[in-house]
Amino acid sequence: MSGRRKAETIDALVVSEADDMSKWSTPIKVNPSVTMALYLKPTIVLRAKKIAKQKKVKNYRLWLMNIIIDQLKREEQGLQAGLGKHKRGRSVVTL
């Protein structure tokens, strides 16, 4: 079964059971505690897209987010090791 056909089958099942409350589990409430929108200069976005394309990455936004997450982990590890001697309130990001 192809991915598209499988998705259509799942969609049909969900629609057919949408009004049957016995098919639904207890609702959960999701409230992200912190969110942030990050606005980048168009030139930065174009550079990210170009590199992601060269690396054959399908979703450059997710790829860029993973880069930020990885860099944060390295920064945290550096701080824990006593290597984080940054000036207060300043951070250097090279793009």
Report pLDDT for 59: 93
In sequence order, what are the residues at sequence separation of 6 or more whose Cβ sits closer than 8 angstroms to the Cβ of residue 44? Answer: 95
Query: Look-up: residue for tokens 């399908």?
Result: 58
Report pLDDT for 90: 52
Report pLDDT for 20: 86
- The domain spans of the chain are 40-82
Q: Which 8-state DSSP code applies to residue 82?
A: T
pLDDT of 2-61, one tens digit each?
777 788 888 888 888 888 888 888 888 877 777 788 899 999 999 999 999 999 999 999
Rg of the chain over Cα atoms, rounded to whole angstroms, equals 21
Alpha carbons 55 and 48: distance in angstroms, whole number: 11
Alpha carbons 80 and 66: distance in angstroms, whole number: 21
